[in-house]
Each structure stands twice: as structure tokens, then as C-alpha cells.
Chain A
Amino acid sequence: MTFDKAIHARFQVAWPGFNLDVELRLPGRGVTALFGHSGSGKTTLLRCLAGLERQSVGSLNFKGEVWQDDARGICRPTHRRPLGYVFQEASLFPHLSVRKNLDYGRKRVNGGHKVSLDHAVELLGIGHLLDRMPDRLSGGERQRVAIARALATSPELLLMDEPLAALDLKRKSEILPYLERLHDELEIPVCYVSHVPDEVARLADYVVLLSEGRVVAAGGLRETMARLDLPTAFTEDAGVVIEAVVADHDETYRLTRLDFPGGSVVVARRQESLGRRLRFRVHARDVSLALARAEGTSIVNLLPATVVEVADADTPAHVLVRLDAGGTPLIARITRFSLDHLGVTLGKSMWAQIKAVALLG
């Protein structure tokens, strides 16, 4: 990551009862998830990046351009920062039609349109809604229009504040594929605020974990999710994200085999064609350990793995064991009793038994 292509941010916000103090270097491409519980400061950080938080003190260097440097008295107001922002709740202008909402930002942008309006409309699938008023749209449609409206300004940075939080499960699954297309088709760096691990695992390339206004960890998605040294707030939902390829379909038993470096897992038959990439999550609580390859078990996904690290879990009765399965990290949540009973030590070869796999997408 060279400095020129990166986003370097340093912000401090002091409110009664809450302090944000972060220093971050984010990649200039791909999706960065700002992940944490409510009150962790992730939305405040996003607003600082946008210049919406007037109380913030700090600096922001976007790919070599200074957007803010309070020490030197520089602060570009929000409307002079080439960014798009998608708010948590629907934020369409109620007095304008969908088309005029889309035009609002677009006609205020001078110069090149890297994202054409047609492309944004097509990407979010809102072509049939253009002449409607916002109050005639469903929640999911509104959020899609809001995303298209932000894209239509050809932003150099897209900021999204839990765009799915106000939606029910059905609407969420309606929008997620569009967000994945954004990720695949556009070169714009995206900062995505979320408190839902599955959303992060599905969309992000890079993760920033925030807790009480501080950065707890930052790094690539897989490395960060597999770390054990994080506060219990994150480890209670510990797990790893594995990127795999659809390798085989078994029509007799209606199963699909997914291959990844170091092994493979079998899941219920997927629609995706062979060769497609798929991400899945393995929760630590769904992984158990055995000394030998288990016989006579209903668990089909058994992987040989080496113990790399043991750490405290969210309860005193449990521990988290990080394993290396031929290059792919795994985390198992087992009891302290089992740890001692099985004699789990660093470097020991064991069998990981995966009870469940959460496919993302």
C-alpha cells in the first residue's frame, strides 16, 4: 500500500461521555468495514471522513490530497469533498421524484463522470422507479435509490453508514447482491459501517474493529477475523472467513464441494456454477477438536489442522484455539476441560470437526 494511494486519517472528537481517538491508514481500493458495537464510534468516524462532524480535530489525507489538517487550518467543507454518503435511514428528498433526486448531486458535479447515471441506475436496478415520488417506494427501493444517487456524483470515496440496518431480512437480501456488484464492478474505495459480522464477512476486504472510540484492530478481513487477541466483545462471535471455489456438485446426495487452500468442505447443493468464488464463515462454536479422525460420526467436514495459539474466550469455562489447516486459519471454541483432557498444546496435530458452515451469498 503506497502512501499516494492510501487514505490516512487521524481524528479526535471529545463529547461528554464519549471520546473518539483514532489513527488509521486505509487502502485506497476495495471495501473497508468499520466494525463495532453501537457506541463504538464507527458512525462518528465515518462522519469525520465526510467532514460532517464539526467538532472533530485531526487530519485527513485522501490519496495525497489534503482534505483536512486542523493544525494548518485546512478543512474542506463536505460539499467540496468528492465523496458519496449513504445514510442509515432513507434520506431521499421527499419533494423530488426519484429522477430529480438522482440529478440533484449529479448536476452539481463538474467534470468527468466516471460512473454514468445509466450505469448507476442499472447497477441498482431502479430503472422502473425513476418517475415515482420517494413516499411511493419500499424501504429497500429507497435505499437503492440513495446508493445510486451517491454513485451518480462519481465519488472518489463512497461512505456507507449501515445502509441495511433499517431494513428487514427480506429487504436486506434484496440489496446485498447490489452491494456485491458495486464491489466487483467499481474501482471506488468504500467505507462501510456495520455491526453485523456476516455483512462484514460478505462484503469487506479490510476490517477496522472499533471499541469505545479506539481502533482495536485493523487489517485484511481473513487475518483480522482469525485473531484471538481481541476484546471479548468480538470473540463471543469469533470465527473465520474462508474464500473458496465451487469445485464439484454431487447430484445423488444434493451436495456441493467447496475447495480452498488446505482442504475442502461439503455443503448442501448450491446454484452457483463450477469455478465460482464463494465466501463462507465458520463460527468458532461450530468447530470441535478430536485427537484422531473420527469414525462413525455424522459430521462430514473433517480437516487435519495444527494448533497455533490458545487464548481466553468470552467465558472462563471456554478457550479459543486457533488452528492452521494447510494454510487456512480456523478457530475452535472448546471447554478448558477438553483442552486439558485432550492435551491440546501448541504445534499438536489434530482433527477439526466442522458442524456448520455459514455461506455468505
Chain B
Amino acid sequence: MNNPLRSKKAEWVVTTPSFLWLAFFFAVPAVIVLAFTFHGHDASGGVGDWSLSTWRELVDPDYPAIVWNTLRISFEVTVWSILLALPCAYAIARMNARWRGIVAGAIMLPFWTSFVVRVFAWKTMLHPDGWLQACYLGWLNVRAWLFGWLPGFLQEFLLWAGFAAPGAVDPASSTILDSETAVVLVSVYSFLPFAIMPIYSAAEKFDFSLLEAARDLGAKNFYAFRRIFIPGIRQGIVSAILMVFIPAVGSYVIPQMLGGTNCVLIGNKIFMRAIQNRNIPHASALATLMAVAVLVPIGIAMLWKRRQDARDKRRLDEQTAKLAVGGGGR
């Protein structure tokens, strides 16, 4: 056990299977997809010779708007999921062991039913004669009213970014089915467990006496939650964001079944190109674009974290240097 060579070997034995799994089922397919983008396609749906034609043909006037909508809706879904998951995870972490088990089980229970079946059930619930339709109209009115209160530049920004639509609410043409709201709602419903679980597992390890310490030093409950609890479970929140944002960007079933023509996302386009147009290279190029769209924010987040660490280290070094200069003897 003390032999470094032997422990090195043991490490290899343990990690090799998962490494091989990742290589065959992730790395190799990813490379194949990337390689396809540098091929043309033939009329029978096959992959043609090496060429840059796919990338050249990728200019479609619809694409920028679709990519933007995909990112915007994924962002909305992520924000709502995290906002709902935070109090849930906090409450579960504070329960006693028995209730924790029951509630955690209840959160996992939907996974016993097929995802497609659950989304289909939503189609029924969102029917124009249903009560959710009434709620939707109410929500639209509240949203329009709130929008009216915002300062002008913010209104313009929201309109420009597509978060809000201009004009009054028309009950006849506003159905919740086949709307963006339906896609966001059902996406939040589907991804919420993926947000709760990482936050909960971080909250479970959180030392709640820290909140008491904050209260003791003069903090109000919400301040302690915001300044001590949230930073304390930062890691869980970061993984929850990734767990929701990434599948949301790749979302395909939900917009297909509930978004109609009003909410076409990049996932639907990829499906269309691959299955309907039988243009695998084109679909591969879109998938590659999507992967880049997801990787860029993660890369930025990692850079930011590294800069933070560097800042802390620099501050510590500066302090030490200052003490060394200012007469070391105390």
C-alpha cells in the first residue's frame, strides 16, 4: 500500500473502465459529429465527401434568432428552477431524517414515469378550456401591468431581447398551449429535481449554526440566508445551474410537443435537419454550434473562479509582504 508504483497501478485499474466508457460513448461520437460537419451530404441522406460546403450553407436567416431564443429560454428556465429549488432544498435540509427521506422520494417519484408521457399529460392540462389557460391570461395581464411600471430603457431592453411582447393581451389569440410560457413552465417542471438535488446535497452539508452566528451578530433572517447560506452552498448552485441549463439548451421534446410554431428551439431544428431533411452534416454542424454555445459560458465561469482565487492569493501575499517590510518583529 505504501509503494507509490503499486498505488499508481491501482488507480489505473479503478479509473480505466470509466475512462474507456467516456472515450467510446462520448469522445468518439463527439469527434464523429465534428468530422461530419466537414463533409457534404448526398441526396439519399448519406454523408458525402470531405468539404466545407456544410459550414458555408449554414447561413440561414432564421438561425441567429433560434439560437438566441434557445439561450434566452434556457436562461429563464434556469433562473426559475434555481429560485424554486433554493427554498425547497433549504426546507428539506432542515427536516428530520424521516421527512427528508419521504420528501426526497416524492421529488424523485416522477422519474418512474416516462418523460414523454409526462410531457404529453401537460398537453392535456394546458388545453384552452382548462384552468391553466385562465391562469395564463391572468399572468399575461399581471406581466403587462408590471411591464408598464418599468423604466423605459428596461422596457426597450426586454422587448429587444424577446423577454416581453408589445401590445395589449388578446384573450382570443393567447393560448397557453403552443406558447413560450408552456415551454418554460414544463421545462421548469421537468428540470426542477435536477436543480433541487445538487442544492440539497450542498445544503445538507451546510453548518446551520452559521446562520445562528449571523443572527447573533445582528443579521436579519433574510440577510443571513443571502450572505451566509447562499455563498455556503455555492458549489451546489453552480452544479444545479449546469444541470438545468445544459439539458434546457438541448431541449427538444418539450418545445416539439408544447411550443408549436411559436417556440422553435435549436433542438427542434437539429431534429428537422437530421430526420426530415436527411442532412446529417448540417444537423451535426448545428449540434456543434450548440455545444460551443454551452461551453462558452462554462469557460467564462471557470475563468472567473480562477481569477477570484488568484485575487485571494494576491491579497494574502501582499499582506504578508507588507508585514515583512513594516518591521518583522512584534
- Chain A complexes with chain B: no
Task: Enumerate chain B interface residues (CB-CB to A < 8 A).
Answer: none
Task: Enumerate chain A interface residues (CB-CB to B < 8 A).
Answer: none
